[in-house]
Amino acid sequence: MNNDDLNSVSKEILDASVAVHKEMGPGLLESVYQQCLVKELSLRGIKTEVLVPVALQYKGYTLNKDYVIDILVEEEIILELKAVETILPVHEAQIISYLKLADKRLGFLINFNVRLMKDGFRRFVNNF
């Protein structure tokens, strides 16, 4: 997927997130937003995978630790969803780790527990 395609899908992800937030409002469980966002993206013809395991690799060895991506969009963009009062550094470290471990270039940390969705939408890149 080239940069223009990634940017186009990114816009759809933001629009879909806003639509879910507008419909459901803040204050619900993360799993609620996950299901709704997956449905919203599928209604827009965007392919998603849910709870995608990512193995930890070290020096060519697969270690006994899997991480789980909330939503993988079009096999390229990682979405890490939250429904928390405040995004913490550990949440940022989580999305950065997933980008590196899964060798993906683009990810979004999306917190639905905000008054305005634009305040809960953060973009992260890995060699983009």
List the CATH number of the domain containing 100: 3.40.1350
Provide the domain limits for residue 41: 3-125
In the prediction, which pLDDT does 115 show?
Answer: 94
User: Across the strands, what pairs with 80?
Assistant: 109
Residues lower than pLDDT 50 in the chain: none
Domain count, the chain: 1
If you search the block for the tokens 């879909």, which residue do you land on? Answer: 16
In the prediction, which pLDDT does 84 show?
Answer: 97
In the prediction, which pLDDT does 128 show?
Answer: 62
Tally DSSP H helices, then E strands, for the chain.
Answer: 3, 5
Predicted TM-score (pTM) of this structure: 0.94
Angle, helices 30-43/3-24, rounded to nearest 10 degrees: 120
In the prediction, which pLDDT does 49 show?
Answer: 98
